[in-house]
Amino acid sequence: MTQATLNPTSTQKTPFDFPAQEAKPAGGMIPRIGDVAPDFTAVTTHGQITFSQWQGSDWAILFSHPADFTPVCSTELTEFAKRIEEFRARKTKLIGLSIDSVHSHLAWTQNLAKILNVKIPYPLIADLSTEVAQKYGMIHPGASTTVTVRTLFVIDPKRIVRAIIYYPLNVGRNVDEVVRLLDGLQTADAKGVACPVNWKPGDKVIVPPPKTEEEAEERLKGNYERYDFYLCKKQI
């Protein structure tokens, strides 16, 4: 399987889906998987945006970093930047956030271009009011009351939160895993399958579990890598 075989904008229901309410999170609650991503208007390094309009029909990855001009954050932002074409190939937009001013963001991105020779091509949200951070549960008082932890939300073209990852202040994200997660979500949507542990593109996927005795019997006869009727893999 190659990336070209997928339709990254597909969000069809799969046999692995559980009933979804597509509910909006209650006030003060962290958005959960299956919730509609909270919308907002904010100042960014690319100008003022309304999140839903900026996202359009693409996937989006919204991530927070604790603060500008910090070492771990510098490695994260530049790694995302160096791999921007991988995300574009998957019809996915990146957008970062911290509780800093737009002037601080601009000074930092210019500094990163100077010292690491990497230009940041995606927008950074200047969330001095913490409005967006509060909507997305990015401030964890047990870690810090003044900066965000390292959160990451994967949001599909229907603006549904599909995955959430949290990292602490002192450990940077694994961008390889972010790409793998995105590939898994898009593969599951496009092919109606699930992805097993440590899956990566090209590996076998898990076929939907049978829901009737007839389907269970058919599963035992099909062209699958069978472990039992409920656990079968196939190549796509």
Task: Give the residue carrying structure tokens 């509060």.
Answer: 134
Residues facing residue 205 across a β-bridge:
234
Burial 119-155 (b: 16+ CB within 10 A, else e): ebebbbbbbeeeebbebbbbbbeeeeeebbbbbbbbb
Catalytic residue status for 73? yes
* Tokens linked to 210: 């049978």
Three-state DSSP class for 222? Answer: coil
- The CA–CA distances, whole Å, from 161 to 25, 31, 32, 104, 166 equal 11, 7, 7, 29, 14
- The CA–CA distances, whole Å, from 213 to 31, 69, 154, 209, 220 equal 38, 60, 36, 11, 11
> Considering 6, 62, 73, 139, which one is annotated as catalytic?
73
Task: Give the residue carrying structure tokens 């870690």.
Answer: 143
- Could you report how far apart the first and last alpha carbons of the chain are, in Å? 6
Q: Which residues are catalytic?
A: 73
